């Protein structure tokens, strides 16, 4: 599979254990401040660099997990948040010291299914004894290595290359099990105030590329051109993918025997926990007055007066339920304004700009707390009354999907 994203590698450990030094050595640049004063690194620092024979990666230098004080606790919180975003973690240990700090970090790695390697730092000052090596091995890392600032980084780079999971840099096809060679796929792409100037939005571009990669034919139209195109050409697409905001127009224009879905639902199946989405979406019919709904945007963007997440979806849901609800919108990886247990439903965007792991980890607290989750496109289709049709192209491929339709 082709590498189509940069794996994120986080470096974690106590203060003054050489995390910033390691970042600088790996990247070959002085991008992180190095000091003998513990706690020099405050906010996570990111740097892209190229691993020869592998490709680009993003290094994340984090604050120490043993930070202290009120500011220290905030730094630890940001470091903890970084774990949810990485594909591989490097845990630095030293001085044959292994206690609650390291065990808590490892527990977080395992909680978010993050593979990790352990580097014994400052090995020029002290070497790991056999007891310590055995304790580290019992943590089940992907590998163990000693390192100091004077040593060659090649062994560590090789260990990183061997330990990065393939899912971190390559993805399966968006549509590979839905379309086949020679199929015609019609994409309905509105060009409105929210469309970027002079270009298409990322999910539309991704769909075009994936259709081509699967040796199918891609036709791109605005919503107002669909009826005339179908009438004049007599072309019968094998699949139609529309922007969720014009679902009703697409549903009316596309004959019922032609599969229809949306870009957001395509991404929901590709990146999200699709089974949980299928299970959670019908909760929209059970919402009560005063229920709090969380909308998660994966990116930050200019907000228009008719924004999909902040305006349209709340309006459509309230019209559907006939009740008054409270809505919170959170962008990127910002903290939630209320505990996750406060929400009756979580609605995640398509997540086109983040990895599948980042999206799954973003939803994990809700799923762990048994809070129903859904996706922008699936929620829109449900409240507009075309849910079964919209999810069918992908739900038919899921086990027990009939339980949710």
DSSP output for 306-342: T-IIIIIHHHHHHHHH-S--EEEEEETTPPPSS-GGG
pLDDT at 272 over 90: no
Cβ atoms 404, 382 nearer than 8 A: no
pLDDT at 170 over 50: yes
What is the C-alpha to C-alpha distance for residues 390 and 310, in angstroms, rounded to an integer? 22
More confident residue, 336 or 49: 336
Query: What's the pLDDT at 26?
Result: 83
Query: What's the pLDDT at 149?
Result: 67
Cβ atoms 233, 208 nearer than 8 A: no
Taking domain 274-403, whether its CATH number is 3.30.2140.20 is answered by no
The model's confidence at residue 382, banded by pLDDT at 50, 70 and 90, is very high
- From the CA atom positions of the chain, what is the Rg in Å? 24
Q: Is the pTM of this model over 0.85?
A: no
What is the C-alpha to C-alpha distance for residues 202 and 211, in angstroms, rounded to an integer? 14
Query: Which CATH fold would you assign to the domain 8-168?
Result: Rossmann fold (3.40.50)
More confident residue, 23 or 283: 283
**Chain centre to alpha carbon of residue 159:** 25
Q: In angstroms, how far is the first alpha carbon of the chain from the final one?
A: 33
Mean pLDDT computed over 177-197: 87
Query: What's the pLDDT at 398?
Result: 66
The model's confidence at residue 403, banded by pLDDT at 50, 70 and 90, is low
The model's confidence at residue 221, banded by pLDDT at 50, 70 and 90, is very high
Q: Across the chain, what does the average pLDDT equal? A: 86
pLDDT at 343 over 80: yes
Where is average pLDDT lowest: 148-152, 216-220, 222-226? 148-152
CATH 3.40.50.11420 maps onto the chain at 184-265
Q: In a 10 Å sphere around its CB, with 0-12 CB exposed, 13-18 middle and 19+ buried, how is residue 90 labelled?
A: buried
DSSP letters of 64-102?
-TT--HHHHHHHHHHHHHHHTT-SEEEEEE-TT--SHHH
Q: H helices within 164-294, ranges in order?
A: 202-213, 226-233, 247-253, 263-271, 274-280
pLDDT at 181 over 50: yes
Percent of the chain at pLDDT exceeding 90: 56
Query: What's the pLDDT at 399?
Result: 55
Cβ atoms 117, 88 nearer than 8 A: yes
**Chain centre to alpha carbon of residue 343:** 21
For tokens 């991704």, name the residue.
Answer: 206
pLDDT at 374 over 60: yes
pLDDT at 357 over 90: no
Cβ atoms 117, 141 nearer than 8 A: yes
Query: What's the pLDDT at 2?
Result: 42
CATH 3.40.50.11410 maps onto the chain at 274-403
Reported as a single tens digit per residue, the pLDDT across 110-159 is 999 999 999 998 877 788 899 999 999 999 999 998 887 667 788 888 99
The model's confidence at residue 320, banded by pLDDT at 50, 70 and 90, is very high
DSSP letters of 4-15?
-SPPEEEEEEST
* Assigned token pair, 239: 């699949």
DSSP class of 312: I
The model's confidence at residue 236, banded by pLDDT at 50, 70 and 90, is very high
Selecting from 3.40.50.1470, 2.40.30.10, 3.40.50.300, 3.40.50.11420, what CATH number does the domain 184-265 have? 3.40.50.11420
Mean pLDDT computed over 171-176: 85
pLDDT at 255 over 80: yes
Query: What's the pLDDT at 350?
Result: 86
For tokens 């905030």, name the residue.
Answer: 74
Cβ atoms 91, 13 nearer than 8 A: yes
What is the C-alpha to C-alpha distance for residues 85 and 113, in angstroms, rounded to an integer? 11
pLDDT at 383 over 60: yes
- Reduced to 3 states (helix: H, G, I; strand: E, B; else coil), residue 286 is helix
**Residue in 107, 3, 46, 5 with CA at minimum distance from that of residue 356:** 5
CATH 3.40.50.300 maps onto the chain at 8-168
pLDDT at 290 over 60: yes
| CA atoms within a 13 Å half-sphere pointing along the CA-CB vector of 148 | 9
The model's confidence at residue 335, banded by pLDDT at 50, 70 and 90, is confident
Reported as a single tens digit per residue, the pLDDT across 30-57 is 443 334 444 444 457 788 878 777 788 8
């Amino acid at each position: 599979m082709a590498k189509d994203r940069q794996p994120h590698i986080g470096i974690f450990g106590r203060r003054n254990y050489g995390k910033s030094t390691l970042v600088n050595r790996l990247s070959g640049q002085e991008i992180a401040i190095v000091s003998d004063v513990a706690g020099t690194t405050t906010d996570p620092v990111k740097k892209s660099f190229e691993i020869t024979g592998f490709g680009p990666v993003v290094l994340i230098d984090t604050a120490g997990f043993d930070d202290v004080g009120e500011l220290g606790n905030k730094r630890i919180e940001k470091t903890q948040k970084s774990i949810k975003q990485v594909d591989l973690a490097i845990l630095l240990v030293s001085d044959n010291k292994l206690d609650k700090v390291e065990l808590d970090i490892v527990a977080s790695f395992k909680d978010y299914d993050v593979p990790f390697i352990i580097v014994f730092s400052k090995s020029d000052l002290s070497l790991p004894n056999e007891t310590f090596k055995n304790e580290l091995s019992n943590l089940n890392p992907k590998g163990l290595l000693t390192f100091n600032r004077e040593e060659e980084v090649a062994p560590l780079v090789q260990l990183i290359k061997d330990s990065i999971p393939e899912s971190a840099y390559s993805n399966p096809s968006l549509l590979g099990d839905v379309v086949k060679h020679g199929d015609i796929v019609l994409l309905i792409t509105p060009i409105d105030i929210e469309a970027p100037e002079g270009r298409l939005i990322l999910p539309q571009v991704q769909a075009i590329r994936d259709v081509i990669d699967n040796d199918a034919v891609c036709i791109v139209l605005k919503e107002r051109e669909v009826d005339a195109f179908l009438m004049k050409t007599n072309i019968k697409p094998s699949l139609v993918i529309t922007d969720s905001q014009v679902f009703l127009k697409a549903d009316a224009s596309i004959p019922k025997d032609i599969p229809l879905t949306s870009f957001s639902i395509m991404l929901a199946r590709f990146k999200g926990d699709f089974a949980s989405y299928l299970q959670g979406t019908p909760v929209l019919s059970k919402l009560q007055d005063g229920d709090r709904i969380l909308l998660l945007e994966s990116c930050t963007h200019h907000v228009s007066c008719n924004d999909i997440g902040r305006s349209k979806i709340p309006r459509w849901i309230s019209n559907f339920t006939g009740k008054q609800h409270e809505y919170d919108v959170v962008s990127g990886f910002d903290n939630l304004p209320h505990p996750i247990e406060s929400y009756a439903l979580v609605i995640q965007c398509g997540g086109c700009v983040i990895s599948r792991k980042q999206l799954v980890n973003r939803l994990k607290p809700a799923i762990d707390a048994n809070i129903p989750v859904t996706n922008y496109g699936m929620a829109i289709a449900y409240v507009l009354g075309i849910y079964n049709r919209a999810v069918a192209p992908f739900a038919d491929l899921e086990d027990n999907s009939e339980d949710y339709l």
